[in-house]
Structure formats: structure tokens, C-alpha cells
Amino acid sequence: MQKIDLEGHSLAPREVEFSGGTGVLNGFLFLPPGDGPFPCIVDNHGSATPPGTTDLSHPQTATLFLSWGCAYLFPHRAGYGNSPGVTLGEEVAAPRGTKAHDEQMSARLVRENQDVISALDYVAGLEEIDPARIVVMGSSLGGIHTLLALAADPRWRCGVDFSGGASQWAKHPKIKRMILDAASNLTQPVCLIQPENDFNTAPTTEISFLLQKRDHPYEAKVFPPWGNAGPEAHRFCATGQQIWGPLVYAFFERYL
């Protein structure tokens, strides 16, 4: 990859529509300067992207990837953001930490992940995108989707998981098992990232141990504390690009 100058280049996305598992999905696509075809990052949001949100396209993250010559898609899964569908709160109504929540959320994850694969189908069909160089990425719930999608479809070139499972690891055994099973079946390189003061750094530690035992290509880093512990630290992906950027750039240099 070669870093490029974005001076004078529009950093506004175009809103796009594509078919998902249960209907039409919306998303926001950013393209770097040039004619392409470009590598593309598909960045999967977490649970805090409700209908009506104003946090629609993540231009702060898109700009970093555009400066590396990569396109960037921020898709909204069904029931989030601008995409119609049953909301997370309607389908997963049980309190966190309960067996019912574990059951409801794990079932929702299976259905939602179809939308992640639909986003892959969409960008792989665009003439501006190199279908052999598509990355899946995500934070929190989107980080879980990163591992599930990597295991589900070999077309992804590699993946970057920020804090996937940090909120669920300790009290939701079914979701934890889904994540570990996905990690056990990866064929592509993956990068695992969390700050030290995230909700729980065990996902990065335990998944890294599993991948190391498999002799699977991966990178992993628990960064020093970022902001206040808990929810603020958990948003490291969306707010800490200047800190995690060099690690991800080196990962892409090696695997993308």
C-alpha cells in the first residue's frame, strides 16, 4: 500500500442500497482518489447504531483508510441506522447476563451475519473494488461479526476485530462459544485489538491463544488505557485511529 494525499478530495460518502437477508439494506461508501479497482474495508457497526442515529458513516475512520488508498463501506444491518427491520431491542429484550439474553442474542447474530455477507456480495460486484482485496472489520458487536463472517466466507482477504465479545465474554457462554468456534475455523489472517481498560480483554487473550495453538497467522495487541474505562474505552475503534492506525497499516502491508 502507498499513502496518498487527500487534499482537495471529497470526504463525503455516497449512500448506497443493496439486498440483505431480509430486505433492502443501506450503507455509506467512500472512495479514494483514482480509478481503482481499490481494496475495500467493510466496517461493521456495534449495537449502538439505532434507527434514527446521526452517527451514519464514520468519516473519521473512512478518512484513515482513504489515505491508504482503500475504499470504505459502512453498512447498516437490518434494524439499525437507515436500514429497515426489527430492531435489536425488540428481538433481544432479555436483560444482559441472563440465559435468555444469551439465547436471543446468539440467534440474532446468526441472522445479522447474513447482512455482513450481503455487504461483501455488494462491494465485490462494484467495478471500483478489487474483489480479491476486501477486508472485514468491526467493533464490539461488529467485532463478533468480523470473526463470524471470516469463518463463513473465504472471499474475505483478512479481518480486523476491535473488542468483539468484550461485553458478552464473562456471562454469555453461547455467544463466547460461537466466537471461539469461528476463530477455530478461520482460514484468513486476523488482527485483534482492544485497549487495556475495555470491558474485558479476555477475548483478545483467549482468541490469540487459540490462534497461536493453530499456528494461524494473526496479530493481536492490547493497547494502554484509552480514555475512561468502560464505554468510552470500548469506542477505541471509532476514536483512537491515530493510536491503532500504525498497527493496522502494518497488518495490511503484510496481508492485504
Distance CA 79, CA 248 (A): 30
- Which one-letter amino acid corresponds to residue 167? S
pLDDT tens, position by position, 67-110: 999 999 999 999 999 999 999 999 999 999 999 999 999 999 99
Beta strands in 58-217 (DSSP E): 71-76, 129-139, 158-162, 190-195
Q: What is the pLDDT of residue 81?
A: 96
For residue 21, the model assigns a pLDDT of 78
The phi, psi pair for 29, rounded to 5°, reads -115, 125
Q: Which domains does the chain have, with CATH numbers?
A: 24-255 (3.40.50.1820)
pLDDT of residue 1: 82
pLDDT tens digit string along 187-217? 999 999 999 999 999 999 999 999 999 999 9
Confidence class for position 66, pLDDT limits 50, 70, 90: very high
pLDDT tens figures, 207-251: 999 999 999 999 999 999 999 999 999 999 999 999 999 999 999
Which of 78, 76, 77, 65 has its CA nearest to residue 30?
65
Instruction: Band the pLDDT of 20: cuts 50, 70, 90.
Output: confident
Tally Cβ neighbours within 10 Å of residue 246: 9
Q: Could you report the per-residue pLDDT of 111-165, keeping only the tens digit for each?
A: 999 999 999 999 999 999 999 999 999 999 999 999 999 999 999 999 999 999 9
Left (φ > 0), alpha (ψ -120 to 50) or beta: where does 130 sit? beta
